[in-house]
Amino acid sequence: MNGPMSDIKVIELGQLLAGPYCGQLFADYGATVIKLEQPEVGDPLRKWGRERVDGETLWWPIAARNKRSVTCNLRDERGQDIVRRLVADADVLLENFRPGTMERWGLGWEELSAINPKLVMVRVSGFGQTGPYAKRPGYASIGEAMGGLRYVMGDPSSAPSRAGISIGDSLAAIYATLGAMAALHHVNITGRGQVVDASIYESVLAVMESLVPEYTVGGFTRERTGPMLPNVAPSNLYPTIDGEWVLIAANQDTLFRRLCNAMGKPEWITDDRFVDHLARGAHQAELDGLIAEWTATMTADEVLELMVEHEVAAGGVYRAPDMLADPHFQDRESIVEVDHPRLGTFAMQNVFPKFSETPAAVEWVGPELGEHNDEVLKGTLGFDDETLAQFRADGVI
């Protein structure tokens, strides 16, 4: 494996989204990620996803890319012993079970850190490892709601909405990964590992900008505003004659002047209604309406060409086919094609961000269940064929 973390070994426990996405990020950056899965069943994510082709999930190949799959029954003492053996020379153990589960299996922090004092244990959960809600079931949807995101998403005339992706899980995974990297840095300095306690609701709360002091200091509760932000104008979606939408963000004075010239409305630059940021915010609906009338007379491509010509920030509202056709996506290899054992060429998002000295890549799609049992259990841990045969017979692997 290439990438800036190619010397790091991660043991991934848990399933579905938040924990495994943290593991995906480590694997993206070149770490050796050994994913332990329940024998015969595996991670339920193997069967998730709206679109399936020939019975194949289209989510798993991305979520488990660059990982090694080993089956291991964590409810069996021999499976728990496999974890302890793997932890002995691992850098990170990642789990996203409900708090208390690892302790019931004899795999809590006290036990594992005694085996490897340098271990970083990353624990991802809905509400964190402590507090009155710690042992409640925690899902992204709940964390998004309690973290403040759901209330401010959507149109003000409708109920709180959701993003079209599990953004709460992704945010928790990103913060868990960031925390793990900070903890690994601490290991390099002190030689001591620690627990990284990442919760979904706090990871959502972390990106909520000034929502809390807006209330505590200003007595203001942020509401849903649809595709725009109050008093930030113009910055909105605007319709075009071909039924598409373009997003134009020209709320800074310099950009607004360029937009006025692009629209053939230089007189707006000195118009009292639009002369500065505050004035445009006060007349936001009127300004958005005027811009929408103008964009509705052209195609999306024509609007965007004018915006590029006049150096106004703008973009299309992309779907998958738009991304695949975009020359900028192609030039930067934002989407790559990887071989899939049954589906052939498989397109997916690349590894981000890009590294100039240690480039990382998608080496392989999500593995088959237990594909790396022999490599890890025989090659790394030294179990012989007879022991592994007994493990299989007893459902340990």
Is 331 designated active site?
Answer: no
Q: Which of 31, 192, 9, 183 is nearest to 89 (CA)?
A: 9
* 70 SS3 class: strand
Question: Which amino acid does the sequence have at 250?
Answer: A
Distance CA(154)–CA(158), nearest Å, equals 7
**Contact call for residues 362 and 338 (beta carbons, < 8 A):** yes
* 333 SS3 class: coil
The phi and psi torsions of 313 (rounded to 5 degrees) equal -65, 125
Residue 74 DSSP one-character state: T
First to last CA, the chain: 26
Burial class (CB in 10 A: 0-12, 13-18, 19+), 164: exposed
Distance CA(157)–CA(224), nearest Å, equals 9
Q: Is the peptide bond before 234 cis (omega within 30 degrees of 0)?
A: yes
Q: Given the DSSP bridges, would you call strands 52-53 and 56-57 parallel, antiparallel or unpaired?
A: antiparallel
Distance CA(287)–CA(291), nearest Å, equals 6
Kindly name the residue from 28, 43, 169, 288 that is annotated as catalytic.
Answer: 169
Residues forming the active site: 169
